[in-house]
Each structure stands twice: as C-alpha cells, then as structure tokens.
Amino acid sequence: MAGTVLVAGASGLVGAACVDRFLADGWDVVAVSRRRPEVDSDRPFEHLAVDLRDEAATRTAVAGLAGVTHLVYAAVYEKPGLIPGWTEQDQMDTNLAMLRNLLEPLTGVAALRHVTLLQGTKAYGIHLHPMRVPARERQPRDEHANFYWLQEDHLTDEAAGRFDWTIMRPQLVVGPNTGVVMNLPPVIGAFAAICRAEGRPFGFPGGVPYVWEAVDTRLVADAIRWAAEAPAAAGRHFNLTNGEVFEWRDLWPALADALGVPAGPDEPLSLAEFLPAKADVWDGVVAEHGLRPIAMADLLGESHHYADFCFAYGATQPPPPAFVSTVEIKQAGFCGVMDTEESFVHWIRVLQDRRVLPPAR
C-alpha cells in the first residue's frame, strides 16, 4: 500500500534512485537535499532544499510533514579528499548530527512506520584491516570508530516500540550522479574524454589487479522499496551487490567501447591529481560537444579520490578482498541481481544522453 516517503540525501546516488523507484509505485515523495534531484519520473514530488547540518532549518522544514510514513536516509557528509576523513571524529560527529537533526523532529510530527539507513563495507572495517571473507551480517560488530555505529545506535534507540528499521550495506554503488562523493561512471567518462581530446591511450590507470563487487543504484532502490513493506526486512542488516564479482581490466574494454575510445595499455596515474589538472581540457570538451556546462570540480565531487581507492592506484600488492555475502537478503525474499558490465555501460549511456559526457562517436 503506497504511503509517503521522505528521501534524505535525494540528490545522491541512492537517494535519486529511490525517488524514482517510489514514484513509479505511486507513492508520494518528499525529497530532502541541497540540490534538486535529477530523476527520470514525470510524476511530481516535493523538494525541500535543506542542509541537514543546520538543525534549526531542518526542524522548520520537517514541521509540516505529518503525513510521512517512511524515511529513506541516504544522506552523508564526507570531507574533502574523502579517504582520510573516514577515520576523523568530526566527520563521524557530523553524520550523527545530520541524522539526529532530521529524525528527532520528524518522529515528533509524523507517524513513521519504517526507516531505512545506509551503511557499507566500512562496517566490516575494510578501510582499516582485512575483513572476513565473505563478510556476513550476523558477524559481531567490528569495533572501530565509525559513524555507522553512531547512527545505528541512535536509530535503534529512537525506533524502539515506535517504528521498524532496515539497514542496507551496498558495495560500490554505480549510477549517473555527478558532483557526489563516490560514483565512478562520471570519473571514468571524464578521463576517457580527456584521453580522446589529447590523443592519449585510454589505459587502466590503477595498480595491481583487484577483484571487486558492485551494485547498481537501481538495484539498491529496488531493495529499499521492498524493505519498506516487507515484514522479513524489519530489524535486519542486508549486504547488497549485483550478485557477481569483476576485475577492472576485464571491464575496461566494454567501458572503452561505450565511451568511443580505444582501450590502451595500463597507464598508472592518480585520477585524483590528473583530472583536476585537466579542468581546462574538460572545458574544451564541453564546448566542442555542446555539453551541459558542468565544471570539472562540479562533475567529480570527491569521486576522483574514490576512483584511486577502488582502482588500487599505487598498490604493489592486492588490497585485502572485500567480498560480502548476499545470502541473507535473498533468503528474506529479495533476489534481484544485475550484470555489472551492463550496469556501468548503461549509466555511461545515460550520462551521454543527458549531455554530461560526449557521445561515443
């Protein structure tokens, strides 16, 4: 039965996909984000331009939302440079404050039935040490400083006897969003466009071979939509992937074909350094192809730092494997899967259709 869902962080990877997914099922959607989300649906939705770090502004915005029945919390605060901030206390405190600033006034005015919260493989400590393979939701909490635990403890305290909750742990989310903290298709697309403009080979820029898992943002949104009304999802944590593994070098030819550049030999370089230094070249690409006037910094967000992390740039030994089991969510009733190569290619083509990336040919 359709309700009213508030999507926090609605302009981000998961948030925008959730706006589309819930609209498709006839729900009323309130999107909360500083930027209006770019979605495909033609159905109207309410957008509240709010910075969740601002407690007073958030409380004012929430005051009129008595009809909200579900909350999807997909907002996140990351610091410039991304990876170093993962272990810094002020980053953790800010993320806790953002959730608190929204959840506390919302529970005061709305009869919430369900809240979905996002985590990731940092829950298993992969950014600090090797994790168990596969990581399973039933394993004991990895005791390290992390905003996931701060948010989870606050959520469960608020929820007790009042509403249900589900926590999703997606792995390397793939989608079309620009200017966000962790999304690779715009980064890879900008790199390919600059290679083409300069006559450079489009070689894989990372380090040693490294096997990953990923998940399409549409699949995450499908899982969140399912969890909103599935009794089997209440009070549970779920890992989420496309259902397969991949290696970047094996994926690279398909990316090159979608982007209209020949795949070249490996050429290790830091995209976190290379792409900002090529901002003027990117401006020329935008002008040549009549693209939307998005500056390099606005295209990337912090995702170029994430690219170096995911590509194992500079690594001479493979990083510890980061494989998670998705058996639990399948046993609970959600069995969605996707082809990772098709996922990356799909979102590259969406970015081309939206005139964010140049056409393949």
Overall average pLDDT of the 276-305 stretch: 98
201 and 234 co-located in one domain: no
State the average pLDDT over residues 190-213.
Answer: 96
Alpha-carbon span 136 to 118, nearest angstrom: 16
Contact 126, 86 (CB under 8 A): no
Same domain? 179 vs 253: yes
Domain-embedded: residue 40: yes
Using DSSP's 3-state secondary structure scheme, residue 156 falls into helix
User: Which residues, 6 or more positions from 160, have their beta carbon under 8 angstroms from its beta carbon?
Assistant: none
Average pLDDT on 97-119 reads 97
89 in a domain, yes or no? yes
- Residue 330 domain flag: no
Are both 138 and 253 inside the same structural domain? no
pLDDT, residue 338, reads: 98
- In Å, how far from its chain's centre is CA 357? 19
Which domain, by its residues, includes 298? 174-213+245-322+338-353
CB 306 within 8 A of CB 182: yes
Taking alpha carbons only, the member of 190, 244, 177, 247 closest to residue 215 is 244
Is residue 282 domain-shared with residue 186, that is, in the same domain?
Answer: yes
Q: Is residue 281 part of a domain?
A: yes
Last residue of a domain, one of 223, 240, 257: 240
pLDDT category at 330 given cuts 50, 70, 90 is: very high
Same domain, 127 and 179: no
Question: 122 with 186, same domain?
Answer: no
Confirm whether 333 is domain-assigned.
no
**Same domain as 226, residue 345:** no
296 and 179: one domain?
Answer: yes
Residue at 329 is within a domain: no
179: domain CATH number is 3.40.50.720
Residue 360 belongs to some domain of the structure: no
Q: Report the interhelical angle of 185-198 vs 279-289 (nearest 10°).
A: 90
Detail the DSSP E strand segments found in 43-135.
Answer: 46-48, 70-73, 114-118
Q: Are residues 61 and 24 in the same domain?
A: yes
Maximum Cα–Cα distance across the chain: 62
Distance CA 252, CA 184 (A): 13
Distance CA 358, CA 288 (A): 9
Do 14 and 117 have their domain in common?
yes
Which residue, of 204, 223, 240, is where some domain finishes?
240
Q: How far is CA 272 from the centre of its chain?
A: 18
Average pLDDT, the chain: 97
pLDDT band at 2; cut points 50, 70, 90: confident
Confidence at 359, pLDDT banded by 50, 70, 90: very high
State the pTM of this model.
Answer: 0.97
Q: Are residues 272 and 344 in the same domain?
A: yes
Q: Which of 217, 181, 213 is nearest to 347 (CA)?
A: 217
Asked if 308 and 270 touch (Cβ cutoff 8 Å), the reply is yes
pLDDT in tens, 47-69: 999 999 999 999 999 999 999 99
- Average of per-residue pLDDT across 308-326: 94
Question: What pLDDT is attached to residue 211?
Answer: 95
As for how many domains the chain has, the answer is 2
pLDDT of residue 361: 79
Q: Is beta strand 28-32 parallel, antiparallel or unpaired with respect to 46-48?
A: parallel
Same domain? For 146 and 269 the reply is no
Instruction: Flag whether pLDDT at 320 surpasses 80.
Output: yes
Q: Give a yes or no: residue 186 inside a domain.
A: yes
Give pLDDT, residue 1.
67
